[in-house]
Amino acid sequence: MVSVKSHVVLAAMAGVCDGRFCFEAAKAGAGMVIMGGINFDAETIRAGLKIKNRGRSEFHVELCDLENFLFREVKTAKRGGAPVAVNVRVATLEGLLRAGELVKNSGADAFELNAHCRQHEITQLGGGQALLLNLDKLKEWIKSLKKVLDLPLIVKWRANVVNDVALAKNLDSLGVDAFHVDAMKPGYSEADLEVIRNISKKSEVFLIGNNSVTDLSTALRMIEAGARVVSVARYTLNDPRLVGRLAREVEEALQRRMWKISNLNFG
């Protein structure tokens, strides 16, 4: 069971959200921190290197170093006092199962499967967002993962790629513990709150709403639309402590407005 400590969570940013960054965010008041994304098979590690070589931020960790890396970084992050999840990028079932074992052994509190990354080096391997386009494979992978994973499972995906409500229903039936939805709408600079509203109406699964949360009003609108908590990435890119500041503002506003504060546990 994961007990999220406030309504604002740090979202994964490859090459940014390491143990230290997560620690700072958690210490400042983030409800949960999501480390990574981290590549867990030879294919995605190679892809990550290509992405890094064209100038995007990435964590490059060789397969043989993953166990030590995770153990060290998760330990650092956990000192911040919030639950720690690890965002996992894979292109193979073998990599997924390896990730299940390594993430569990690292002391992390939750596993986040990345069905979100749209970098072509990852999607052409069938990983990241491409998983959404092969629902049978995604379902088989989740079933296999759940047999070995002794941790709550979050699935992170990008909205408006497939039918989000149908996807949510499928994942719900597989026992996924939390949905992390990047409510991106192509061509718009604001989050697609309709997607959050529709998913939350059709499923009771713990919903983390993401995209373009940068202040109190965008956070509250996302929560009002049905997200149990919100997550932030770009807003906090240059200072992890901003997550905590926003979290405090949200807690105060929820109390002032006497909104019914729902249970922040999942898993």
Stretch that binds ligand FMN, among 77-85, 93-101, 197-205, 206-214 (CB under 6 A): 206-214
Residue whose CB is less far from ligand FMN, 147 or 187: 187
Using the 8-state DSSP alphabet, how is residue 65 labeled? G
Only one of the segments 112-120, 133-141, 159-167, 171-179 lies at the binding site for ligand FMN (rule: CB under 6 A); that segment is 112-120
Q: C-alpha 88: how far from its chain's center?
A: 9
Residue 230 CB, shortest distance to ligand FMN, in Å, is 8
Answer yes or no whether residue 212 interacts with ligand FMN by CB under 6 A. yes
Determine which residue in the list 20, 118, 143, 234 makes contact with ligand FMN, applying CB under 6 A: 234
Residues between 146 and 205 that touch ligand FMN (CB under 6 A) = 156, 182
Give yes or no for residue 39 binding ligand FMN (CB under 6 A): no
Nearest alpha carbon to residue 170 among 140, 146, 209, 215: 140
- Sorted by sequence, the CB contacts under 8 Å of residue 238 that are 6+ apart come out as none
Q: Is 14 in the site for ligand FMN (CB under 6 A)?
A: yes
Task: Please tell me whether residue 11 binds ligand FMN under the rule CB under 6 A.
Answer: yes
Contact residue for ligand FMN among 2, 4, 8, 12 (CB under 6 A):
12
CA distance 189 to 58: 24
Report d(CA 71, CA 41) in Å as an integer. Answer: 17
Indicate whether 13 belongs to the interface with ligand FMN (CB under 6 A): yes
Q: Which is nearer to ligand FMN, 200 or 211 (CB)?
A: 211
Q: Are 169 and 155 in contact (CB under 8 A)?
A: no
Cβ 34 vs Cβ 8: under 8 Å: no
- Report the relative pairing of strands 178-182 and 110-115 from DSSP bridges: unpaired
First vs last C-alpha separation in the chain? 5
Q: Which residues bind ligand FMN (CB under 6 A)?
A: 11-14, 16, 36-37, 57, 87, 114, 116-117, 156, 182, 210-213, 232-235
